[in-house]
C-alpha cells in the first residue's frame, strides 16, 4: 500500500498547491473550492489507506516481486452491503449545502463526515 498511498499523498499536495496558486492568480472562489475539495478527497483516501490498510502486503510494494507472484493476489475484504455510502453522501450534501446556506449545517456535515469516516475505517478492519 505504500506505493498507492504515496501516489495519493503527492496528488493531494499537488492539488493543494494548485488551489493556493489558483486563488492567488485568479481570485475565483468556485474553482478554488473545487480544487480544495479534490485535495480533501485525495487526503481522505490516503488517511484511510494509512489506518485501515496498514498491514496490506501488495505486489506493487515489493521491488523483487515477479508477475507470477501477482496472480491471484488477495487485495482485501470488501463489504458488499453497507449503508455507509448513502449516509456519507448525505453528510457531504449537508456540508456543501451548509457552505452555501448556513455555516451551522456545514459544521454538522463535517462532524457527520468525521464520524462516518471513522466508522467506515473501524468496520473495514
For the record, the C-alpha cell of 119 comes out as 466508522
Residues 38-66: pLDDT tens digits? 999 999 889 888 887 777 766 667 777 77
For the chain, give the mean pLDDT. 83
pLDDT recorded at residue 13: 97
What is the spatial distance between Cα 76 and Cα 82, in angstroms, rounded to a whole number?
A: 16
**C-alpha distances in Å from residue 80, one per residue of 2, 84, 85, 103, 121:** 25, 11, 11, 35, 15
pTM for the model: 0.60
Residues 92-119: pLDDT tens digits? 888 888 888 888 888 888 899 889 888 8
Amino acid at each position: 500500500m505504500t506505493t498507492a498511498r504515496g501516489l495519493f499523498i503527492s496528488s493531494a499536495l499537488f492539488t493543494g498547491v494548485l488551489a493556493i496558486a489558483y486563488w492567488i492568480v485568479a481570485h475565483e472562489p468556485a474553482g478554488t473550492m473545487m480544487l480544495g475539495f479534490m485535495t480533501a478527497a485525495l487526503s481522505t483516501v490516503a488517511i484511510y489507506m494509512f489506518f485501515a490498510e496498514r498491514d496490506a502486503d501488495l505486489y506493487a510494494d515489493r521491488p523483487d516481486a515477479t508477475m507470477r507472484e501477482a496472480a491471484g493476489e488477495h487485495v482485501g475484504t470488501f463489504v458488499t452491503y453497507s449503508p455507509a455510502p448513502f449516509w456519507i453522501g448525505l453528510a457531504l450534501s449537508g456540508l456543501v449545502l451548509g457552505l452555501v446556506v448556513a455555516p451551522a449545517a456545514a459544521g454538522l456535515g463535517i462532524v457527520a463526515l468525521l464520524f462516518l469516516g471513522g466508522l467506515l475505517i473501524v468496520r473495514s478492519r
